[in-house]
Amino acid sequence: MRTLLLLHGTGGDERDLLPLAAHFGSDFNVLSVRGNVQEGGMPRFFRRLGMGVFDEADVVFRTHELADFIGKVAAQEGFDPAQIIAVGYSNGANIAGGLLMLYPGLLAGAVLWRPMQPLVQEVPAFETPRPVPVYFAAGQHDPTVRPAATEAYAALLAQGGYQLTRRDAPTGHNLTQADLTGAVAWMAANFPAA
């Protein structure tokens, strides 16, 4: 059975994306994680130095920490770690991106809502060992990320072997019904029910 790894945005918690998980169908385990970094009382998955400027050493550390946690929970709960599909929004999409870059064989797929490239200063060389579909949904009017940076990130993931489905939304950083509908259709096409 496949597992959805739910990764919330800044200030959210492990309950935030649970209502959305049901839309993907009942053929999934659900593992929802709370970021363990605090910024002004708001949970995040890694530190940032300013708006849109990430503490990349912390991104690397927290990505390794998350990968280790996933392995431990998979062993405890008896689910296949090779069948995990990350579903992340904003900061959650960015830590999922850390997994895609630092652990290219770990995830079976990923939904990235409003992603930013998590590692820019020292970009690791990566290549997926198998086909891995990724739903990449940027906001066309997102004030937190420059369009050129979005283009570069999408190109980087594609160069690394990820099979990108790009669906830019005519909105800002907020999540819309169209984002959910598009991701659900993508999930059904790439991970059909058994």
What residues act catalytically? 90, 142, 173
Which residues face 113 on adjacent strands? Answer: 89, 137
**Three-state secondary structure call for residue 49:** strand
At 113, which amino acid appears? W
Q: How far apart are CA 56 and CA 85, in angstroms?
A: 23
Element (H, E) at 89: strand 84-89
Q: How far apart are CA 75 and CA 95, in angstroms?
A: 21
Contact 91, 63 (CB under 8 A): no
Q: How far apart are CA 55 and CA 52, in angstroms?
A: 10
Contact 63, 95 (CB under 8 A): yes
Which one, of 112, 102, 104, lies nearest residue 131 by Cα?
104
